[in-house]
A and B are shown apart, each in its own frame.
Chain A
Amino acid sequence: MAELNIAQAINSALDTALSSDDRVLILGEDVGRAGGVFRVTDGLRNRYGAERVVDTPVAESGIIGAAFGLAVAGMRPVAEIQFLGFSYPAYDQIVNHVARIRNRTNHRHTSPMVIRMPYGGGIGAAEHHSESTEAVYVHIPGLKVVVPSTPKDARGLLLAAIEDPDPVIFLEPIRLYRAVKEHVPDIYYTVDIGPLRVEREGSDITLVSWGAMMRETRQAAGILAEAGVSVEVLDLRTLSPLDRDGIVASVEKTGRAVIVHEAPLTAGLGAEIAATIQERALYSLKTPVRRVTGWDTVFPLKRSEHHYLPSVDRIVAAAESALED
């Protein structure tokens, strides 16, 4: 057991997967020699060689298309796209090939592969480096999408994703990479893809979030709790398939929900969650579901970032307004 941050926990999962399964290989831009632009694959090339930790040309479609071929023919590739915002050159491969092969061949061929992508803002990065377009992938039938917000979940979810018989998009919250540390077991363990995690139990209101926004959501919960509110906090962890039962169970108990995400409001995952609550828990609701999200704008550059990212204040205000009803 070691104290690890999220970046280290992901590294430990990759290490474990490479050492326990010969079919696993890592490929992506700068993942080898440099150990990844966020040092997430640090040391792996030295340990497992350039054949299993493969630096690729700058070619996202190539990375995913090649990983797809590797997966269909029996390997377990873990592909890295350097930032979510650079996944679009590979979009055709992901949507039209990776996500569909099982369906097209009626289970004859499959693509058990993982696509890791750092995502989200908050570090004053250049254009396209701060995107939070998880809904783009959640919307695609045939893909699973997971996103950890803690080191323990990061390791367990990644090992589960690598084991999974289907393609998994594994999103990594950039601004949390080194923000939280906890004891992470070094034994082989998995965190199931699907179930959400009730991070904090309460009975007055449910806060729903995932990934990078869990930090602000936790802080808001802390402020509300100090004011005497009994807050339940859900960390979805898996965005597709969505744990509808888990969300509904919580809202049936609290009668109030605030959904927090960094992505733009319109057609964000919050809309799907709110619709689910409306369909399955309408009569438990004491007040309309609130959404606290990014705006329907391009993610701004450094100087305006704080105007975009949903703040703790906005989450608290949304919860307070829900509690007034």
Chain B
Amino acid sequence: MTSRKAGLGRGLEALIPIHGETTSSRPPGQTSANGSSMFRLINPDGTVRDRLPVTLEEMKSLYADMVEARVYDDKSMAMQRQGRLATYAPFRGQEAAQIGAAAALRPGDWVSGTYRDAALNWKAGYPWKLLILGRTGDERGGQVPEGVNVMPPSITVGGHMIHAVGLAWAERLKGTDRIALTSFGDGATSEGDFHEAMNFAAVYETPTVFLCQNNGWAISYPVEEQTRSETIADKALAYGMPGVRVDGNDVIAVLVAVREAAERAREGEGPSLVEAVTYRLGPHTTADDPGRYRKDDEVAAWEELDPLVRVRRLLERSGAWTESWQQSLETEASNRIEEAVAWAESVPEPEPDDMFKRMFAEPTPNLVEQEREATGRG
């Protein structure tokens, strides 16, 4: 492990912030008017801005993970359209933010994310097959294996951020060096819960990492209208914790920033906020029609910044990417996802009494009575 200087801010400022980018080169919908720095290591064209703190093999493996996540996302969209899944929230475009962040964690660290965080959750140990089962509309998909400390994806916006304070706090009380990462959207920072979570974490100096995937939109409401803060990262200042803005479509920038924040937390230096600037390329969910609120050319501009393409270009430059390797990555990922789908779809229909059985450790008398009625055994 590389030696690390104290403080997320210092560590990152030592790297190359992007100052003075011309406005035109900034993608629409995610501008930063007075040029706040955004940490980036890999440029959209695949050139790098500094020595990358990963080996080529690690780079290839992160790329493979992003490809697998994309295959899952595409498959889920298709399955939803076929009526095989309930509503689905695609993460297309946010693979680097999620895979990069999860890659910075250690086994046993906690993750408390959202409905859009399937890639993050998978990389943190949540098996595809259970994620898929959950998306078919089955509570059994929430039963993650022992040892996987991933919370169920939060459907309510904002309520889960403070959980990463309590989870991290408990780990400190237990004397482990585990940390908790909470992932949330730009929209969630408007909820009062965001304030409470940030403040608690700072006050109790819990080993918590706040990861905001600023994807430009809270359904139809653009981030520029949600807040008058110049950046989401700026908000950290008011709580007395470091805040850093990274290019969320750069998997290595995210990895470095989250790793710094995680190490800082692990060493007892308290919480940090990482704002990963990214973009939701797909609809909010399969029930959404983004054509009602955003322009195609904005989406097209962000397609150019596809987080997978960037790494592919980098690997191509290093001679480490070939068409056939890409093919094999996709085929293997596809096989694994299909296997997970087949498993999820082979899980027998829930029994009518299942819902009564998971309410309490021991069903209460009214539940016992109602279960009899529901199953016709009354």
Contacts and interface: CB of A to CB of B under 8 A. Distances in A.
Contact of A304 (B157, B355, B359): B355
Given A295-B356, A296-B366, A58 B188 contact: yes
Contacts of A305: 137
Contacts of A32: 220
B187 A57 contact: yes
B350 A303 contact: yes
Contacts of A304: 137-139, 350, 352, 354-355
Contact of A307 (B134, B350, B366): B350
* 8 closest residue pairs by CB, A with B: A302-B137, A57-B190, A34-B220, A301-B137, A58-B187, A33-B293, A307-B352, A302-B86
Nearest to A299: B355
Interface in A285-301: 295-298, 300-301
B36 interface: no
B365 to A, nearest CB: 10
Interface string A40-64: 0000000000000001111111100
A33 B138 CA distance: 33
Interface stretch (A105-113, A119-127, A164-172): A119-127
A126 B278 CA distance: 25
Contacts of B350: 300, 303-304, 307
A57 B158 CA distance: 12
Contact of B227 (A57, A296, A298): A57
B292 A37 contact: no
A296 B192 contact: no
Contact of B370 (A37, A124, A295, A302): A295
A86 interface: yes
A30 B220 contact: yes
B343 interface: no
Given A126-B115, A296-B367, A86 B190 contact: no
B358 to A, nearest CB: 8
Interface of B: 86-87, 115, 134, 136-139, 155-159, 187-188, 190-193, 218-221, 225-227, 287-288, 292-293, 349-350, 352, 354-356, 359, 364, 366-367, 370, 374
B226 A57 contact: yes
A296 B367 CA distance: 7
22 contacts: A30-B220, A30-B221, A33-B221, A34-B220, A34-B292, A37-B288, A55-B220, A57-B227, A58-B187, A58-B218, A60-B191, A86-B156, A124-B137, A125-B86, A265-B370, A295-B370, A296-B370, A297-B370, A298-B355, A300-B355, A302-B138, A304-B137
Given A57-B221, A58-B190, A59-B191, A303 B137 contact: yes
Contact of A303 (B136, B156, B220): B136
A58 B356 CA distance: 33
Contacts of A127: 155
A57 B218 contact: yes
A35 interface: yes
B134 to A, nearest CB: 8
A297 B367 CA distance: 8
Given A89-B158, A128-B156, A301-B138, A307 B188 contact: no
Contacts of A89: 158-159, 191-193
Contacts, number: 116
Given A297-B367, A302-B136, A307-B374, A58 B158 contact: yes
A103 interface: no
Main secondary structure of the interface of B (DSSP, over half): loop
Contacts of B187: 57-58
Contacts of A296: 359, 364, 366-367, 370
- How many chain A residues sit at the interface, stated as a range, is 35 or more
B374 A295 contact: yes
Interface of A: 29-30, 32-35, 37, 55-62, 85-86, 89, 124-129, 265-266, 295-298, 300-305, 307-308
Contacts of A128: 155-156
Contacts of B87: 124-126
Given A89-B159, A125-B86, 16 more contacts: A37-B287, A55-B225, A57-B226, A58-B188, A58-B218, A89-B192, A89-B193, A128-B156, A296-B359, A297-B356, A297-B367, A298-B359, A302-B138, A307-B355, A307-B374, A308-B355
B137 A59 contact: no
B186 to A, nearest CB: 9
Contacts of A35: 292
B160 to A, nearest CB: 12
Contacts of B136: 302-303
B231 to A, nearest CB: 16
A129 B155 CA distance: 9
A32 B354 CA distance: 41
A60 B156 CA distance: 11
A302 to B, nearest CB: 2
A30 B219 CA distance: 7
A62 B192 contact: yes
B2 to A, nearest CB: 38
Given A89-B191, A308-B355, A33 B220 contact: yes
